[in-house]
Amino acid sequence: MALGGGSDEARAIADADYLLIVAAAGLSISDEMPNNPYHSAADFEHHYPTLASFGYRTCFEAMGLAGDSSVPPGVKLAFTARHFLNMRSNFPPTPGYEALRRVALSFAPDRVFCWTSNVDGCFERSGFDARHIYTSQGDMKRYQCAAPGCGHVWDVQEQLRAIDAAATDGVLTDLSLAPACTRCGAQWPQTRPNLRGGDWFIHRPYEAAAARLPDWLDHIVESRGSVAIIEVGVGPNTPIVTRIPACAFASAVQANGGRAVYLRINPDAPEGARENPARGVAFSRWRQTWRALDPLAAQVAALRAAAAARTAPAPAAEAPAAVSAGESREGPRQDAATWQRRYHQILESLHTRRLS
């Protein structure tokens, strides 16, 4: 569906009481600067020519770099430091984040939640409330320790900057600068990025947000609230940690008598129906990039400002809607409970309990 002035989707989003933003890598890919080394060989070579000389073409290929004995440790460390600093600090958030921020500012702060597989910190860097951002896959600003009995997670950016400053032509010669655990002193390679990639991933830094999210979702379902879900840039790599449970949430809201509107923005070919919310949810898919967010944000903000000028603000929390005498909610509640179990099970599966 093409975006036009005063779109039905903008009106539906503006009428909602809550906003859930679901995002993945597509939201962070610029169409103006070379910040896509994961997919673009040209961008990869532009930023990491030394590693490219070893035959690597993208960051996806470089995910197995640690086990490649043909690449010297100094090259691996220099690449990792520069890449993590690029993604977490040097590459700015795309304007799509600012557009989403404009939409979010038209809602009460506690009625907005961001759910993302991105590990680049762009939501926080764009001014969103960190308490309402769940980064299920980790964060590139952190490392974790695999030394026996440790399991420490710390902010590694200062150590990465020291490596980057000391590296010459993509090679670190002083290996004593390799990231070391700030608690037990364990040396690389016992230290590694705090990113999901196996059962060794330590989820602890994200537990607070991970606990707030299902509570927030459940409140909307149980109060039969009205929620807008804007999904941007979710591809085929990690839909299970964002899109699929978000669709289950929208389905639960609708099944329990609330109202859910779901807008998916993605330039790729449409997904199968199994990755869509259930029938009854107002679902639209725009085959566009995050650029579609700018006019959408302007429309939503204008509509919500006009509505606020006409009416008093809604109360901070809504009581569950009353059920008329003789009306049975058993059927819808059973459907809603099924959908709720689905997103709860997925969220719970993302917690790593091997290390406390």
Nearest to 343 by CA among 136, 196, 101: 136
Q: Are 243 and 234 in contact (CB under 8 A)?
A: yes
pLDDT(310) > 90? no
Q: What pLDDT does residue 323 have?
A: 32
Q: Give the integer Cα–Cα distance in Å for 201 and 146.
A: 10
Nearest to 36 by CA among 287, 289, 244, 264: 289
More confident residue, 237 or 129: 129
pLDDT band at 4 (very low <50, low <70, confident <90, very high): very low
Q: What pLDDT does residue 325 have?
A: 29
pLDDT band at 351 (very low <50, low <70, confident <90, very high): confident
SS (H, E, C) 213-248: HHHHHHHHHHCCCEEEEEEECCCCCCHHHCHHHHHH
Over the stretch 182-221, which tens digit does the pLDDT of each residue have?
Answer: 999 999 899 999 999 888 999 999 999 999 999 999 999 9
The SS3 call for residue 34 is coil
At the topology level, CATH places domain 8-29+93-137+204-309+328-349 in Rossmann fold (3.40.50)
How many Cα atoms are found within 13 Å in the side-chain-facing hemisphere of 223?
A: 15
Domain locations in the chain? Answer: 8-29+93-137+204-309+328-349, 41-90+138-195
Q: What pLDDT does residue 352 have?
A: 58
Which residue do the tokens 């008329």 mark?
Answer: 324
pLDDT(345) > 60? yes
Can you tell me the mean pLDDT for 319-343?
Answer: 61
Mutual angle of helices 293-310 and 95-105, in 10-degree steps: 10
Over the stretch 15-34, which tens digit does the pLDDT of each residue have?
Answer: 999 999 999 999 999 999 99
pLDDT band at 353 (very low <50, low <70, confident <90, very high): low
Contacting residues for 181 by C-beta, under 8 A, at least 6 apart: 143, 145, 147, 150, 152, 154, 190, 191
Over the stretch 252-270, which tens digit does the pLDDT of each residue have?
Answer: 999 999 999 999 999 999 9
Q: Give the integer Cα–Cα distance in Å for 182 and 162.
A: 15
Q: What pLDDT does residue 326 have?
A: 29
pLDDT(314) > 80? no
pLDDT(349) > 60? yes
This prediction's pTM: 0.91
Q: What pLDDT does residue 264 have?
A: 98
Task: Give the strand order in the sheet containing 18-23.
Answer: 133-135, 112-116, 18-23, 226-232, 259-265, 282-286
Q: Give the integer Cα–Cα distance in Å for 127 and 120.
A: 14
pLDDT(273) > 50? yes
Q: What pLDDT does residue 7 have?
A: 86
Over the stretch 148-170, which tens digit does the pLDDT of each residue have?
Answer: 999 999 999 999 999 999 999 99
Over the stretch 47-59, which tens digit does the pLDDT of each residue have?
Answer: 999 999 999 999 9
Which residue do the tokens 């150590």 mark?
Answer: 159
